[in-house]
Structure 1
Amino acid sequence: MLHGEQSDGGVIYMRCRPCIRISPAFNLLSNRYPQVVFLEVDVHVCQATAAANNISATPTFLFLRNRVRVDQYQGADAAGLEEKVKQHTENDPGNNEDSDIPKGYMDLMPFVSKTGCECLNESDDCGFDNCLTKDDSYLESDCDEQLLITMAFNQPVKLFSMKLLSSDFAQAPKLLKVFINLPRSMSFDDAERSEPTQALDLTEDDFKDDGLVPLRYVKFQNVQSVTLFVKSNQGDEETTKINYLTFIGTPVQATNMNDFKRVVGKKGESH
């Protein structure tokens, strides 16, 4: 979720009149988490808004980040609702005050569909999941220095750049081929001979904490999946290591928060 006065996201409470018992808890959360925008919508008054968001039961709480719906919670369980709010505020990639992400873009990790991801030649002990979180764990190749990574998204996105971190520069990726929206899984032979959407020759600057690897934005406008072929590493080491991998960009479709503010803009209806 986005925070602060300029936030474009938060929690939207889709309610009907019988949902009144959860309303005090929702109001309390709006005071407890002042950095999050809380909005309230009466589905009987705003039927078009409810239909547009496929609301089939109430109360339903929609969680948005950068005007994009990333999660929802149903039910009148106050403890469960607060746990969901905590989950999104604590795991928000935008919470980092030192964020190097340019204005208007976001870390797309919340939109990664893990069931659609794949990594070939990953080590049994240091697998692909390790590079999806910022900690001491890492992804390491197995038989040689090459990796073939596919990351799928749960909705179409536009890619602006890629972020890569590696604690050992000698084992960091060097030559990469980037492919998008492949109709089937790619083999290493396919990757070697196929023309990529973009080829990259990475340098030490690309792996700095504030570094971003720019992508040709016009070529990455409607991306459902990205496949990275790591051909070599910086020091010609036997294996390649990646501590963190993510993409920076925006979802293709975004929710217009002004629509919600307009329909619930009466005094006392939003928090």
Structure 2
Amino acid sequence: MSATVEISSPAQLSALLSSSRIVVVNFYNEENTSSKAIAPVYDQLAGQLSRADRVTFAKVSTVQQAQIAQSYNVTNTPTFIIYKNNQQIKKYAGSNPQQLSEAIKTLAAEAETEGGGYSTGPGEASSSGSGEWRGASLPRGYTDVTDAVDPRGLDLLNADSDFGSVKKLFDMSQPVSLLNGGIRISGKDSETRKDWVESDVDNQLMLYVPFMANVKVHTIQITSCVSGNDEDDEAPVRPKTIHIWANRQHNLGFEEAEDIPATQTIELKPTDWNEQTATAKLELRFVKFQNVYSLVIFVADAEGDSEKTRIDRLRFIGEVGEKREIGKLEKIDHDD
């Protein structure tokens, strides 16, 4: 049986993440009952699935290596974090052996096949063997929580019906306009598969996003594949001023939004956009978005004079907490 690697320093963990294709890290507490209960399951998986330089299992004591636990944003034990090619892709808190086993076995199978690994392409774009795409790298200690979005409750105001539905914003595939590795506005594929949204009567968009679990939102990645042709006043443009509200019971109207202070307002500059991936990162005041069951995202205005604002994808980066009962929005205290 292959032994797990006991981590004794930050440098050792960093080297391991760089040398092995997949790394599973068990952050545990020697005195924690749940940590003790799942330890045999973890060791058994390590014995079955460890592969030299492909799949490595490691353990970090949050008592002896408190600095490492803090730097990887681990506050509860046991916590399991899974990396592919030095990029965090999954994070589990708690001792659910079936969930952990299924996740690791799936990734281990991918590691055995060519092209199944996680890759980082030009301009920080990343994808996996499961077809997931995002336009920027993940901050250390956090994961993509977009799959916690409840698609049944999505609501987008002022969207042009000639383009994709609101659900397209959360599609995990690469935007059609980026299929050739760079922004491509014209072409048959792009025109026939309009997998983005555009505003209708003016450049404002109002989006309501409910979640199936309470989440901590650290960053929002927004992708907007525009042409950059300043001479075309009718070409769609990128969002500029964005107001964000946490934990509203429903979408806001445009007039209502003027009377309710936003949880945070962000103004994007042209330099905030990565031109390879057409993506900007909205870094939130994390303390304001700790226990979120819904977000309202209001694009108040856009770059330039065009009345068309375009958004191709949205990704939410953070942590997933306790699942909610479907259809139930419990009131959570928050600052208005």
> Which category of TM-score, normalised to the shorter sequence, fits these structures?
0.5 to 0.7
Matched, 1:65 2:123: no
Equivalent residue number for residue 246 of structure 1 = 315
Q: How far apart are the structure 2 equivalents of 1:35 and 1:152?
A: 35
* Aligned partners of 1:165 and 1:242 also within 8 Å: yes
Equivalent residue number for residue 240 of structure 2 = 174
Q: How far apart are the structure 2 equivalents of 1:252 and 1:180?
A: 16
> Residues 104-115 of structure 1 correspond to what in structure 2 (within 5 A)?
104-115=141-152
The 3-state SS of whatever aligns with 1:5 is: strand
Q: How far apart are the structure 1 equivalents of 2:56 and 2:314?
A: 27
Q: How far apart are the structure 1 equivalents of 2:255 and 2:136?
A: 37
Q: How far apart are the structure 2 equivalents of 1:142 and 1:183?
A: 25
Equivalent residue number for residue 162 of structure 1 = 220
* Aligned partners of 2:207 and 2:251 also within 8 Å: no
Equivalent residue number for residue 157 of structure 2 = 120
1:140 to 194, 198, 206: 198
* Aligned partners of 1:206 and 1:213 also within 8 Å: no
Cα distance, 1:108 vs. partner?
1.3
Identify unmatched segments of 5+ residues in structure 1.
9-26, 38-63, 74-80, 255-271
How many pairs does the alignment contain? 203
Cα distance, 1:252 vs. partner?
3.0
Cα distance, 1:68 vs. partner?
5.7
Cα distance, 1:199 vs. partner?
0.8
- Counterpart AA for 1:164: I
- Counterpart AA for 1:90: G
Deviations, residues 39-89 of structure 1 (Å, cap 9, x unaligned)? xxxxxxxxxxxxxxxxxxxxxxxxx931169xxx9xxxxxxx98xx88xx6
Q: How far apart are the structure 1 equivalents of 2:261 and 2:175?
A: 34
Equivalent residue number for residue 149 of structure 1 = 207
Deviations, residues 117-160 of structure 1 (Å, cap 9, x unaligned)? 11111111223222223312211111211100011111011111
Cα distance, 1:35 vs. partner?
5.3
Equivalent residue number for residue 55 of structure 1 = none
TM-score (norm 2): 0.50
Distance change >3 Å, CA 215–CA 238, structure 1 → 2: same
Identify unmatched segments of 5+ residues in structure 2.
1-20, 27-47, 58-88, 99-104, 111-127, 177-194, 229-235, 324-336
- Counterpart AA for 2:90: R
Cα distance, 1:90 vs. partner?
3.3
Deviations, residues 233-264 of structure 1 (Å, cap 9, x unaligned)? 1112111001111111112359xxxxxxxxxx
TM-score (norm 1): 0.61
Cα distance, 1:107 vs. partner?
1.4
Cα distance, 1:6 vs. partner?
3.3
Equivalent residue number for residue 59 of structure 1 = none
Matched, 1:234 2:303: yes
Matched, 1:102 2:139: yes
2:250 to 161, 179, 184: 184
- Counterpart AA for 2:283: P
Distance change >3 Å, CA 125–CA 175, structure 1 → 2: same
- Counterpart AA for 1:192: E
Q: How far apart are the structure 2 equivalents of 1:36 and 1:115?
A: 38
Cα distance, 1:174 vs. partner?
0.6
Q: Percent identity?
A: 27
Cα distance, 1:211 vs. partner?
4.1
- Counterpart AA for 2:129: E
* Aligned partners of 1:68 and 1:251 also within 8 Å: no
What RMSD, in angstroms, separates the aligned Cα atoms of the two structures? 4.1
